[in-house]
Structure 1
Amino acid sequence: MKHLTLILTMFFVLSCTTQKSRDLSNDNLITMTFSATEINDLVIIQDFFDNCIGLAENEKQDNIDKVYFDFFQQNSDITKATDLKIPIDFEKQKGLYNQIDKKTFEDIWSIDRFIKRDSNDTLKNVGLNRHGKYFEFLKLLGGQDSTINKYYNTLEVV
């Protein structure tokens, strides 16, 4: 579930920076932070999430604010990030991870392994890479947007 939260956050931040322009390569901060390959991968990730929350390709320009607003309204009563209601099938997520470049994945996420208590099972968790380009991007973007800055500061503490 944590990896879903990170996907959600990523798309929200990217959507905020592009201000209805679906071309991430037009954003100076994004082009200063990410390579052309990484930007193409970010578009793939953003499209994946848009489709998962019900934003059809032909509606993106007209309904993006409404669909995101509705999505966040559905999740407005949560008290923990892990309580987000994101209906994204894990197999589809793995498909997304396979579509993007390995370096892009590693610039955004890291895979942590844990041993489950009272068993020998190893659990994997996809989490935000706090040493990656995306985390640095959040820091830079936070300098321009107080909401993103609060989010970045929260992540830095956790």
Structure 2
Amino acid sequence: MKKTLLLTVSILILQIFFSCKSQYSTAELNTNFTQTEIADLKLISEFFKDEMCLHMDSDFRTCYERTPHEYLLATGNGFWTNIDFEEQKELYKRISKSTFDAIWMFCESTFYPSKTKADELCAVANGRYQEYLTDLGKTNPRIAEYAERIQASGDFSGLDIQYWQVLKEKKSFDLDDPNIQLILAIHYLSMNDQAKRNAELIEKRTVKFE
């Protein structure tokens, strides 16, 4: 009798656990990416969480909410600049080329006043990641708006998602949703890449120009 009762309770606990996990849709991921690519996307999310949380043992929501966004912005740096860019470049090597190409591409940009030309990370405005965002946007107007901005500009912009919007618009940015976690990870990793990839080159050319 005790064994039967224990088994019944265990089954109920598992059912509750999986029903909670299944409240977040995976249809958009499965529609636009292979299983290998989905594993890569999870790797991207986990890397971002580890870097953002400084390897602290906390859930994504708690970590994001506790990050001192205002202080970092006041110093002129977004919190994403704490991400180790050398480690980020190693992350790129760990994911498949098809995953990278579904999200990012390199564009030639000109930096002033030195007029230095260099490759800069850009968004693939009509790629599968963009289609993924569009699919999510069918049930989340804020993500639809985000997808439209990327498609229009072909780039990731700090103005497209701001930290206070994420904290305020809790319905649109459910930090427990793996889809939102992935979107934030890719967004902020893109911002970090844009801030650091050519920083040394630009600084040297600017000094020489002056």
TM-score bin (small chain): 0.5 to 0.7
Residue in structure 1 matching 2:147, options 146, 149, 152: 152
TM-score under structure 2 length normalisation: 0.52
Letter in 1 for 2:63: V
SS at match of 1:141: helix
**Cα 1:153–1:70, aligned 2, differ >3 Å: closer, same or farther?**
farther
TM-score under structure 1 length normalisation: 0.68
Residue in structure 1 matching 2:88, options 89, 93, 100: 93
Q: Is the 8 A contact 2:126 2:151 kept in 1?
A: no
Q: Is the 8 A contact 2:106 2:122 kept in 1?
A: yes
**Cα 1:68–1:41, aligned 2, differ >3 Å: closer, same or farther?**
same
Instruction: State how far apart, in whole Å, the 2-side matches of 1:83 and 1:128 are.
Output: 22
Gaps of 5+ in 2: 1-19, 154-210
* Residue 43, structure 1, aligned to residue 37, structure 2: no
**Cα 1:92–1:77, aligned 2, differ >3 Å: closer, same or farther?**
closer
**Cα 1:27–1:57, aligned 2, differ >3 Å: closer, same or farther?**
farther
Instruction: State how far apart, in whole Å, the 1-side matches of 2:103 and 2:93 are.
Output: 14
Tell me which residue corresponds to 1:53. Answer: 52
Q: Which has the larger radius of gyration?
A: 2
Q: How large is the Cα RMSD of the aligned pairs?
A: 3.0
Tell me which residue corresponds to 2:190. Answer: none
Tell me which residue corresponds to 1:32. Answer: 31
* Residue 128, structure 1, aligned to residue 127, structure 2: no
1:4-19 correspondence runs (5 A): none
Instruction: State how far apart, in whole Å, the 2-side matches of 1:91 and 1:34 are.
Output: 27
**Cα 1:83–1:140, aligned 2, differ >3 Å: closer, same or farther?**
farther
What whole-Å deviation, never above 9, does each CA across 1:65-111 have from its counterpart, x for those lacking one? 1212234x615996xxx963311122111101000001110001011
Instruction: State how far apart, in whole Å, the 2-side matches of 1:83 and 1:44 are.
Output: 25
**Cα 1:70–1:147, aligned 2, differ >3 Å: closer, same or farther?**
farther
**Cα 1:136–1:57, aligned 2, differ >3 Å: closer, same or farther?**
farther
SS at match of 2:36: helix
Gaps of 5+ in 1: 1-19
User: How many angstroms does 1:46 deviate by?
Assistant: 0.6
